[in-house]
Amino acid sequence: MTRELPDAVMDRMEQLFHTTIHRGPAALTRDELAAAMAECDVLVPTVTDEIDAGLIASAGPALKLIANFGAGVNHIDLKAARARGIIVTNTPRRTDRGHRRHDDGVDPVGAAPPGRGREAGAVRRMEGLDAGGMLGHRIGGKALGILGMGRIGQAVARRARAFGLTIHYHNRLRLPKVVEAELQAQWHPNLDEMLSTIDILTIHTPRNPDSEGLIDAGRIALLRPHVYVINTSRGGIVDEGALIVALEGGRLAGAGLDVWQHEPQIDPRLLALPNVVMTPHMGSATFEGRLATGEKVIANIRMWADGHRPPDQVLEGWA
């Protein structure tokens, strides 16, 4: 295991398997990953571990399963794994501390003690009583565009309806009409057409060769100036440079980001923008969610160890 997971998950892993856990806050280096992959039967990585073709080619003969902790697998070279006969599985079913902007120049990602940030100062100064300050927008009646209408996209749609948004979506395949009716969602077969009509864009498609750079400079230009972009999927889906230019130039209203193009590095221009809210890739950070994800990893390993196909095997072209 390349990272510490919830205690209950690690305890169960150690009960069931001969388990080695990398403990500590730092990710494994490439050399440490290579050493682990040279000896283990099963590797349990997370999104911070780049498992490329070179690492897979140098893996030991015992490695037969990469049981990823998390739904996204864009950090794993699936083609190289398949060539080596290594099965890859994922876990498809499973705010303020994450984002602070400080008047005193403290690191905005959760580093300052409570009460020192601009938000705390605003409370003390009662800035909310200023009729012209700290204004937001009503979301009722706005058009929400969902890119990627899988399990997560549909869950977002259900929640958005409760807030009075109209639901628009683009997906490779249209949902069954009964699901569209339940969600009151309108399918747009043409992504560009949807982008030109919505007020909020939220991204829930996996990162793969088809979605890499999907929201590029041209498509960002289709969004109207009052639009907000929300990305809790993967950073590489959006051309980050083009997004920054649009935000700096006032050609977009703002962005909410849980992911970045070059994680864990964050473009300093994003940190400087007042119309960007960021959280440190913590969209799934609930006790229940992390435990459920760990249980999925264990289930995949046990099925594989018992000679069965893991229930969440990922194939090339995964989407």
Catalytic residues: 234, 263, 281
Task: Classify 52 as helix, strand or coil.
Answer: coil
Position of tokens 């205690």? Answer: 7
CA separation for the pair 190, 68 (Å, rounded): 33
Q: How far is CA 144 from CA 57, 181, 208, in A?
A: 44, 16, 23
Is the peptide bond preceding residue 61 cis, with omega within 30 degrees of 0?
A: no
Question: Which helix (H) or strand (E) segment is 89 a member of?
Answer: strand 87-89
Q: How far is CA 284 from CA 9, 87, 94, 161, 281, in A?
A: 16, 24, 9, 21, 8
Q: Which two tokens stand for residue 319?
A: 């989407």
Task: Classify 164 as helix, strand or coil.
Answer: coil
**Cβ within 8 Å of residue 66, ≥6 positions away:** 42, 43, 44, 45, 51, 76, 81, 86, 87, 88, 89
Q: Please name every residue paired with 228 in a beta bridge, in sequence order, or none if there are none.
A: 200, 254
Q: What is the DSSP letter of 42?
A: E
CA separation for the pair 50, 197 (Å, rounded): 37
